[in-house]
Amino acid sequence: MSEVRVLVGTHKGAFILTADGKREKWDVSGPHFAGWEIYHVKGSPADPNRLYASQTSGWSGQVMQRSDDGGKTWAPVGNEFRYDGVPGTHQWYDGTPHPWEFKRVWHVEPSPADPDIVYAGVEDAALFRSADGGKSWEEVSGLRRHATGSKWQPGAGGMCLHTIIHDPADPRRMFIAISAAGAFRTDDGGTTWKPINRGLRSQYIPDPAAEVGHCVHRIAQHRSRPNVLFMQKHWDVMRTDDAGDSWREVSGNLPTDFGFVIDVHAHEPETVYVVPIKSDSEHYPLDGRLRVYRSRTGGNEWEALTRGLPQQDCYVNVLRDAMAVDSLDACGIYFGTTGGQVYASADAGDSWKPIARDLPAVFSVEVQTLT
Amino acid sequence: MIRVVLPPHLRALALVNDEVRLDVPPPATQRSVLDALETRYPMLRGTIREHGTQRRRAFMRFFACQRDLSHESPDALLPGAVADGDEPFLVVGAIAGG
């Protein structure tokens, strides 16, 4: 019998929600790391019982946690993230130079093949790698040392590296995204990187089509088509079919194309999900109605999914790492809100129900399908 | 024997329920106490002092004997009552929020 494990990072701890393959009855464990901000929890595809968690606090900084038993027990691992060499400066909000300073880990991405290899996307934006199960971390410094690095600038949430995608067809290729620098790709295992932002247009930077400076909120990929990526930018939903060499807008009939999350159906690579948010200054659903939008055509044509979601007086946000899918035959979709709800759909989005209602503000949601 | 009181979030991280008692060779200073604390509880490294520079993290404070020692030199002698174990060395998260 299959089992689904949902890993939820919140403002005040981590929670683990489990159910059998029917996904009807959910057990909730937690809070783990109570009182700490848990930006992200993710399991290793190579060993699903190996989990990594980013635990952080404004008082005490960064802690990394590891579980080897699916989240029943945890142990702190290495928490020293030291930039390679003299870090230099990036742009501050007003365009002045600002020193690179480590603040926190936003996203952990275990290797698809080796549970001891894990990547961490951090603020101020950089990529780190551990090859010993998180005990020690080394910067993948070719990214931050890219010639455009001194031009990167923070978005409203900070200058965070929030998306890390391993190419399932090519272990030397990886995609990352930074708010607000844009998307980057390596084809040589991280030694060199290229910005992949052609086609993006952002009105909040002096040159709307600049090589870097775009506030990318999230990128998603279906593993059967690694050259096809979907992006929720600050404004605009985008798509590339050539691994980021060129992007085109697929916002289509969305009521607003601002948002944070984006994800792809586990078995239908042209079925994409977003949660439109009213605007960059009003971070809640349009008209107080929480609607997931689904496109079955790879973008442009979107349908609102509302059954089971609040359709009045709803003013929560859905943050960039807070949507995930399972890989059961009837694909499950999950997302968490800043109001502390985790909603799940066991029918690819047709209907929804809350599987947790009153958690602290949800930062991240990941799903493991266990067999 | 030097007594150290940690804030709740660090007690949880270090898996301790009460104050910590440490054997610290004299002289008792912030540095020697925190070095001993981090040796006993390595998971606390980087959470009270920054990695590398060993500077006190900005939102952490050190109190003892009704005094704020946060801005003392890390190598200054701690009060005799702390060195003798009569009073604890308090690691405190700065007050924030409403």
Question: Per-residue pLDDT tens for A64-106?
Answer: 999 999 999 999 999 999 999 998 999 999 999 999 999 999 9
**Is residue B32 assigned to a domain?**
yes
Confidence at residue A156, expressed as pLDDT on a 0 to 100 scale: 87
Strands (E), B6-88: 20-22, 60-64, 67-68
**Is residue B72 assigned to a domain?**
yes
**Is residue B76 assigned to a domain?**
yes
Rg over alpha carbons for chain A, rounded to the nearest Å, is: 19
Confidence at residue B96, expressed as pLDDT on a 0 to 100 scale: 62
Whichever domain contains B23, its CATH number is 3.10.20.30
**If you measure CA to CA, which chain B residue comes closest to A78?**
B43
CB neighbours of residue A206 within 10 Å: 7
Residues A288, A349: Cα–Cα separation, whole Å: 19
Which structural domain range is residue B38 located in? Answer: 2-93
Confidence at residue A371, expressed as pLDDT on a 0 to 100 scale: 86
Give the number of A-B residue pairs with CB atoms closer than 8 Å. Answer: 48
What distance in Å separates residue B51's CA from the closest CA in chain A? 7
For residue B97, is pLDDT > 60? no
Cis peptide bond prior to A171, omega within 30° of 0: no
Which pTM does this prediction carry?
0.96
Identify from A12, A57, A60, A77 which residue to disrupt to test chain B contact, counting B C-beta atoms within 10 A and taking the largest count: A60
**Residue B21, C-beta contacts closer than 8 angstroms, at least 6 positions apart:** B1, B2, B3, B4, B85
**Is residue B26 assigned to a domain?**
yes
What distance in Å separates residue A250's CA from the closest CA in chain B? 42
If one counts the domains in chain B, the total is 1
CB A222 within 8 A of CB A264: yes
Q: Residue-wise pLDDT tens for chain A (371 aa)?
A: 799 999 999 999 999 999 999 999 999 999 999 999 999 999 999 999 999 999 999 999 999 999 999 999 999 999 999 999 998 999 999 999 999 999 999 999 999 999 999 999 999 999 999 999 999 999 999 999 999 999 999 988 899 999 999 999 999 999 999 999 999 999 999 999 999 999 999 998 889 999 999 999 999 999 999 999 999 999 999 999 999 999 999 999 999 999 999 999 999 999 999 999 999 999 999 999 999 999 999 999 999 999 999 999 999 999 999 999 999 999 999 999 999 999 999 999 999 999 999 999 999 999 999 98
DSSP A145: T
**Is residue B98 assigned to a domain?**
no
